[in-house]
């Protein structure tokens, strides 16, 4: 069997993360997106995945991926939506392949989190985010189910798997729980261990933080 392929979809850096637009300008959002992608790709590689493909939503995303040394597939669906994009990417790679889809905005992802998704003896493995999204989705093979990204996608993916009769596992991993969509998510990163690229860029985005004062007496 061919080794598992990791697919990492990324919208054009600076255009995505629209819910951060009130606090970060496009250049800052781009810096954050690329840093998180760097950390995600490093964790995938450290977990033993040698075939990592960035599914790029435009030229800027493609350039970011190539700068990090990743294989790049320019959005084969023409930005019609994430599910269409992933379906087209899966066809390009081959529906017979084992494909692990991983979100690009998981700055806490560690190699052991990736291994935790790969370990179950299941045809579909779902790793949810804290908000009920899907941080990682493993399909063995990719043709076993389609994708259903959007709010509550972890439940939707489980429903697809159950309906298909596929052996299914859900895994909870700290490094996959925390994606970054809002300013609250961003500030929460100051309280946890991060990948080195995100840790380096975060102070530039948040600026000086007030010192916590110890209670007197």
Torsion of CA 189, 191, 193, 199, to 10 degrees: 50
- The model carries a pTM of 0.90
Q: What is the DSSP letter of 97?
A: S
Please tell me the predicted confidence (pLDDT) of residue 217.
38
DSSP 3-state assignment of 100?
strand
What domains, with CATH codes, occur in the chain? 5-205 (3.90.550.10)
Kindly list the strands in the beta sheet with 134-139, ordered across the sheet, starting from the edge strand earlier in the chain.
71-74, 51-57, 5-11, 99-102, 134-139, 124-128, 168-170
Per-residue pLDDT of the chain (217 residues; tens, 9 = 90+): 468 999 999 987 766 666 787 778 889 889 999 999 999 999 999 999 999 999 998 899 999 999 999 999 998 766 678 999 999 999 999 999 999 999 999 999 999 999 999 999 999 999 999 999 999 999 999 999 999 999 999 999 999 999 999 999 999 999 999 888 888 888 888 888 899 999 999 988 887 543 333 344 3
Rounded CA gap, 176 and 127, in Å? 7
């Amino acid at each position: 069997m061919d080794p598992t392929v990791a697919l990492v979809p990324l919208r054009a850096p600076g255009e995505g993360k629209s819910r951060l637009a009130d606090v970060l300008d496009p250049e800052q959002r781009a810096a954050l997106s690329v840093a998180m992608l760097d950390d995600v790709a490093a964790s995938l590689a450290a977990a033993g995945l040698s075939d990592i493909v960035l599914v790029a939503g435009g030229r800027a995303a493609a350039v970011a991926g190539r700068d990090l040394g990743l294989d790049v597939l320019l959005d084969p669906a023409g930005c019609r939506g994430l599910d269409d994009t992933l379906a087209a990417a899966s066809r390009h790679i081959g529906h017979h392949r084992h494909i692990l889809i991983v979100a690009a905005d998981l700055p806490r992802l560690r190699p052991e989190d990736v291994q935790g998704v790969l370990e179950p003896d299941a045809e579909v493995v779902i790793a949810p985010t804290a908000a009920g999204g899907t941080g990682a989705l493993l399909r063995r093979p990719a043709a076993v189910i389609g994708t259903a990204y959007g709010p509550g996608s972890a439940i939707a993916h489980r429903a697809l798997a159950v309906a298909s009769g596929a052996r299914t596992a859900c895994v909870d991993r700290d490094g996959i729980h925390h994606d970054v969509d809002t300013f609250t998510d961003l500030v929460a990163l100051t309280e946890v261990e991060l990948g080195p690229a995100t840790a380096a860029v975060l102070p530039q985005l948040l600026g000086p933080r007030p010192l916590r004062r110890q209670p007197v007496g």
